[in-house]
A and B are shown apart, each in its own frame.
Chain A
């Protein structure tokens, strides 16, 4: 039943995409994901706590992300936090989605040039 082909996840849901994009740079905890999404989108996308963790749970079930056991330096670490990272499947799904979006943007730009 488990999906193993990254193409099966395409297109990614907006929230999934934002979370996975935040993890593309490395391990991150829930609060970090939230802040990163907020800054990246200039405050347009806010992931509310329960929604965020609901999504994280589903991403783990889909095996796109996983809990990470690599923890930051003790002085930066908060023992209560869990860290997440992309799985290989998740990385492939994310890049497939990025390609799809770039393709989409190219098509739109081409269309715009034609009409102009």
Chain B
């Protein structure tokens, strides 16, 4: 407001008078008058600025377009990051009233321990037990003879909902007083299940579903948006742990009373005024006491002397340990800041060049009385307008990315659903970002452009007194950094892309199109354990009668699947009682007879499993060690890496290996099957046992059927299985080739993301370089005129202008190379996923030469456009300046 100073002055003048006449109320009115009127005045002036800014942008569409793209890219990526990561870290569980006080131990514990925790009334106002990612085969009563659908849910203790603070939307949720052991089975369904599978039927309460073949009555529906705790694996059904084992095989073997069955997560609601740290310390003490009482507790080595319990705050979508959380926050803030800084810096550079060209307009306005503040405000308005337009583009980009991501599903057994909705939070975020960014990139150029010596600027032809050009100025430094960072991104991306392409190719020894993978889960079709085993024993023979079937094998997991390293267990090999024991972490896979033959994988030594291995030797309670000195040990097959790790170059056949429970005998060694991540993990193959048959994993028991090339056996396979049992639910049907494709979609997704980031960096760097060159051209207009008048050719002028840019690009390239190699080293230390990919990628000459060439070409192109303007300068015009 033009009268700001006078308003203040007048206010000072009248304040005494007003106090005298009107008292305190008058003073309040005085303050209110100023507080309300002044901003309103500013806003109305701002509107005019905006109109003017719009006209200025329309007049230079090229600049506007580049600005909008640049800001749009920056804000789109930042918003995408914000909505996908930030929100999944910070958004509280929907509908959970106690979200802020929820904590949970990192590792699953036994139900018995949870009951002990529950007694700590001074620490916790409630402790619930739950298992997540539990599959159910659901049959809808109304649908008559329809095939069951596989739906994922949670097994929860009756107080689960009261601990979370989740009410019901319809009917009731589970309750400790209402749901007791021995009651008729009940189930609470999620809002999503109700809408998608029951068509939001209003009289849903009291309806009966068949879960795993057993009837269960629907008693309630959870609120909208609630998908259970740990909702990254959304749950649609909530079944109380009081349900009979026939309904939920997870509850078999009296698991609620087995003190060593560590299969439940504890969800705890802290009592008021109890800090997470003190609860963790108290819980640690309790757990130590429980471990001492438990003769089956794993023997702790010395390094386990630290905390045995780590509490996570569990009221968010993804529970995270505190230190990880703060590190993640820092990482995302820095990343978002970096992206925005790069985008803003580029625009600032362009505005500097533009300010130099608008010098005269500004000088005229200053000399006829516009205040400097007024001009700065005008230029900042232009920045904000540009930034807001960029924000619209950015929001569109983020929206596109979120749609892209929602189409992409991770190949996991239990569905994973990242929270990625773009809602009003994100819109506000973009808006704030645009305002901050707009001011950020236009403030410095505006201040510089308006700090003018008026006399020369007003002269015709304008011998511009531009701020001095510094070779090592902040601006040039930024460009070098930008080129370096983009090259780093490009190289790292390239390393990963090429590396992944090489290592993720799984070489099967046969055509992967000829192998079908199907899953069944008879335990969830109502099979008792012994009946399930009988069924599995009959399947291979039955399927082999289907014409062109060559071989059939069973496995508890699909071949070439990506195993989580966290699943690795310590196994020990000791060749003779006196010899030193060798320990190494190994990943276990359970496979049936003829597995390696079906994969055409010859054994390097020994034999593979036969049907006899999966019979009689096992005991349903084997894993509970009711058989301390089993007369015969279970056979295992090692892969090459595991065999070498345990026995060096010696023979492994016949040697004993053991886990923390019992001893096994090595009967065979097989080559490392590349699983597509490219890491040679140590693997131990165990024979399928009754335990596997009675309780298949979340993605069911996999049947692998290999046929001859060019024959379609799928319908024959389905027919043969129907002969055994027409009601058996067959799911996850795909060829091995489809499976491999799917299991690598993670890498493909990563590659797309990295490529996108690399491209983003490249575009921004190019814009930045164009800005610098444009500025240099404006600065040396007169010099160019003189050179051309003295006979310099256009090409020579062009080269002169490009020389500056070339120096910057070269410096950036060198730094970028060094940075990329350093980063590759750090990355491969951080996570083993990258190790092999980076090893392959860093040796590829195409990338080492191609990336800098591409960057240099793009950078020079970006410089060429403004430099060409220099060559077009009319020497007469440029010289007629003074």
Q: Does B3 contact A (CB under 8 A)?
A: yes
Mask: chain B, 1-16; 1 = CB below 8 Å from A; 0 = not: 1110111011101100
Contact present for A50 and B38 (CB under 8 Å): yes
Contact A51:B33 (CB < 8 A) given known A31-B10, A34-B14, A57-B41: yes
Q: Does B603 contact A (CB under 8 A)?
A: no
Q: Does B107 contact A (CB under 8 A)?
A: no
Contact present for A31 and B13 (CB under 8 Å): yes
Partner of A50, one of B2, B13, B18, B34: B34
Q: Which residues of B contact A57 (CB under 8 A)?
A: 1-3, 41
Q: Which residues of A contact B30 (CB under 8 A)?
A: 48-49
Q: Which residues of A contact B37 (CB under 8 A)?
A: 48, 50-51, 54
Contact present for B6 and A30 (CB under 8 Å): yes
Q: Does B21 contact A (CB under 8 A)?
A: yes
Q: Which of A45-89 contact B (CB under 8 A)?
A: 46, 48-54, 56-57, 80-82
Q: Which residues of A contact B307 (CB under 8 A)?
A: none
Q: Which residues of B contact A46 (CB under 8 A)?
A: 18
Minimum C-beta distance from A81 to chain B (A): 8
Contact A50:B33 (CB < 8 A) given known A31-B14, A43-B21: yes
CA A56 to CA B37, docked complex, whole Å: 13
Q: Does B718 contact A (CB under 8 A)?
A: no
Q: Which residues of A contact B7 (CB under 8 A)?
A: 49-50, 53
Q: Does B780 contact A (CB under 8 A)?
A: no
Contact present for A49 and B14 (CB under 8 Å): yes
Q: Which residues of A contact B719 (CB under 8 A)?
A: none
Contact present for B1 and A53 (CB under 8 Å): yes
Minimum C-beta distance from B144 to chain A (A): 76
Q: Which of A11-52 contact B (CB under 8 A)?
A: 30-31, 34, 43, 46, 48-52
CA A28 to CA B573, docked complex, whole Å: 102
Contact present for A80 and B38 (CB under 8 Å): no
Q: Does B29 contact A (CB under 8 A)?
A: yes
CA A80 to CA B2, docked complex, whole Å: 14
Contact A49:B11 (CB < 8 A) given known A54-B37, A82-B6: yes
Contact A53:B3 (CB < 8 A) given known A34-B14, A48-B30, A48-B33: yes
Closest A-chain residue to B26, C-beta based? A46
Q: Which applies to chain B's interface (DSSP): helix, strand, loop or mixed? A: helix
Most buried by A among B2, B5, B7, B40: B7
Minimum C-beta distance from B19 to chain A (A): 13
Mask: chain B, 41-56; 1 = CB below 8 Å from A; 0 = not: 1000000000000000
Closest B-chain residue to A56, C-beta based? B3
Contact present for A49 and B33 (CB under 8 Å): yes
Partner of B6, one of A48, A51, A53: A53
Partner of A30, one of B1, B10, B36, B40: B10
Contact present for A54 and B10 (CB under 8 Å): no
Minimum C-beta distance from A64 to chain B (A): 16
Q: Which residues of B contact A48 (CB under 8 A)?
A: 29-30, 33-34, 37
Contact present for A80 and B9 (CB under 8 Å): yes
CA A80 to CA B33, docked complex, whole Å: 22
Contact present for A52 and B10 (CB under 8 Å): yes
CA A30 to CA B7, docked complex, whole Å: 9
CA A39 to CA B47, docked complex, whole Å: 37
Q: Which residues of B contact A31 (CB under 8 A)?
A: 10, 13-14
CA A52 to CA B30, docked complex, whole Å: 12
CA A56 to CA B6, docked complex, whole Å: 12
Closest A-chain residue to B8, C-beta based? A49
CA A100 to CA B858, docked complex, whole Å: 73
Closest A-chain residue to B37, C-beta based? A50
Contact A80:B34 (CB < 8 A) given known A30-B10, A43-B21: no
Q: Which residues of B contact A51 (CB under 8 A)?
A: 33, 37
Mask: chain B, 21-36; 1 = CB below 8 Å from A; 0 = not: 1000000011001101
Q: Which residues of A contact B14 (CB under 8 A)?
A: 31, 34, 49
CA A30 to CA B13, docked complex, whole Å: 10
Contact present for B10 and A53 (CB under 8 Å): yes
CA A82 to CA B7, docked complex, whole Å: 11
CA A37 to CA B619, docked complex, whole Å: 103
CA A49 to CA B26, docked complex, whole Å: 12
Closest A-chain residue to B29, C-beta based? A48
Minimum C-beta distance from B34 to chain A (A): 5
Most buried by A among B5, B6, B34, B36: B6
Minimum C-beta distance from A16 to chain B (A): 16
Q: Which residues of A contact B11 (CB under 8 A)?
A: 49
Minimum C-beta distance from B33 to chain A (A): 4
Minimum C-beta distance from B858 to chain A (A): 49
Minimum C-beta distance from B775 to chain A (A): 38
Q: Which residues of B contact A54 (CB under 8 A)?
A: 37, 40-41
Q: Which residues of A contact B6 (CB under 8 A)?
A: 30, 53, 80-82
CA A102 to CA B29, docked complex, whole Å: 33
Minimum C-beta distance from A66 to chain B (A): 14
Contact A49:B21 (CB < 8 A) given known A54-B37, A54-B41, A80-B5: no
**Residues of chain B whose beta carbon lies under 8 Å from any beta carbon of chain A:** 1-3, 5-7, 9-11, 13-14, 18, 21, 29-30, 33-34, 36-38, 40-41
19 extra interface residue pairs, beta carbon distance < 8 Å, beyond A46-B18, A54-B41, A81-B6: A30-B10, A31-B10, A43-B21, A48-B30, A48-B33, A48-B34, A49-B10, A49-B11, A49-B30, A49-B33, A50-B34, A50-B37, A50-B38, A50-B41, A51-B33, A51-B37, A53-B3, A81-B9, A82-B6
Task: Enumerate the 8 nearest inter-chain pairs by beta-carbon distance, A residue then B residue, closest first.
Answer: A50-B37, A48-B33, A53-B3, A49-B10, A50-B34, A49-B11, A49-B7, A50-B33
**20 pairs, CB–CB < 8 Å, chain A vs chain B:** A31-B10, A34-B14, A48-B30, A48-B33, A49-B10, A49-B14, A49-B34, A50-B34, A50-B36, A50-B37, A50-B38, A53-B1, A53-B6, A54-B37, A57-B1, A80-B5, A80-B6, A81-B6, A81-B9, A82-B6
